[in-house]
Amino acid sequence: MGGVLSTDLVPWADATVSQMMAQTKMLMGTVVEYKELMMMYACAIKEVRTKFDVLNTEFKIRYQRNPISSISTRLKRTASITDKLERQNFPFSLESIEKNVNDVAGIRVICSYIDDIYTIAEAFLRQDDVTLIAQKDYIAHPKPNGYRSLHLIISIPVFFADRKKDMKVEVQIRTIAMDFWASLEHQLKYKQEIPNQPEIISQLKECAEIINATDEKMLDIRHQIEEIADAPTEEDILLEKLSKLDLAVDV
């Protein structure tokens, strides 16, 4: 797969019948190849989602807690792919999409706490069929507007009927609070021509700092509760003392 999707075509008004037939055949074939490529990306999303579902189930059994609150997925729209390639001056071809667009397939993992993000990411990346291509930690190093999230670009093999193909997937992992802020900020930034825009941007960043502080506070509270739950009770202490007594009787 690698045909050009929209260039090298003779203008329809200037084309001969044979040229029109040839171009129609080429375009139909390329559309089929494009749909096949999108299918492969969709299958890669399923593979990655299954991995996170399995990890969440395992953690529930081992630690009596689900680190993942929710998972959402998306396949980038054709218009968005085209826009991205045009902005970066890349041709709109199948090869170019695979090489230059890392987020055609996307999955967002929402965790309850900040430490869950890194725990889940590390467990995911330890799997031997997951290859890390790039990582950006916007939690340790937030964007200037206050955005926080852990971004991973990974490659995963997907098995089809007659072949295996490595596919790229973008994974975003963030907390519920981070996702709340990012979702609203995304909506607000598309409301153009609003007055006092610098002030609005400043307020959004302030909200991001407050939300991050809340994330850290909730994690601290969870740690306190876990310490209390793990602390030995009076019964535990008594049983431990009894176990150390020499109750043997000399005969």
The answer to whether 179 and 110 have CB atoms below 8 angstroms apart is yes
Q: Judge whether 185 counts as a catalytic residue.
A: no
Report which of 87, 97, 89, 99 is spatially closest to residue 38, judged by C-alpha positions: 97
Tokens in use for 234?
A: 């009076």
Euclidean distance between CA atoms 127 and 107, whole angstroms: 17
Count CB neighbours of 212 within 10 A: 19
The answer to whether 131 and 169 have CB atoms below 8 angstroms apart is no
Angle value at C-alpha 166, between 53 and 35, nearest 5 degrees: 90
Which among 58, 86, 170, 216 is annotated as catalytic?
A: 170
Length of the chain counted residue by residue: 251
φ and ψ at residue 171, rounded to 5 degrees: -115, 125
Output helix, strand, coil percentages for the chain, rounded to the nearest 5. 55, 20, 25
For residue 185, what are the contacts with CB-CB under 8 A and spacing of at least 6?
145, 146, 147, 204, 208
Collapsing DSSP to helix, strand or coil, 50 comes out as helix
Beta strands in 67-203 (DSSP E): 68-75, 105-111, 131-137, 150-159, 164-175
Annotated catalytic sites, by residue?
170
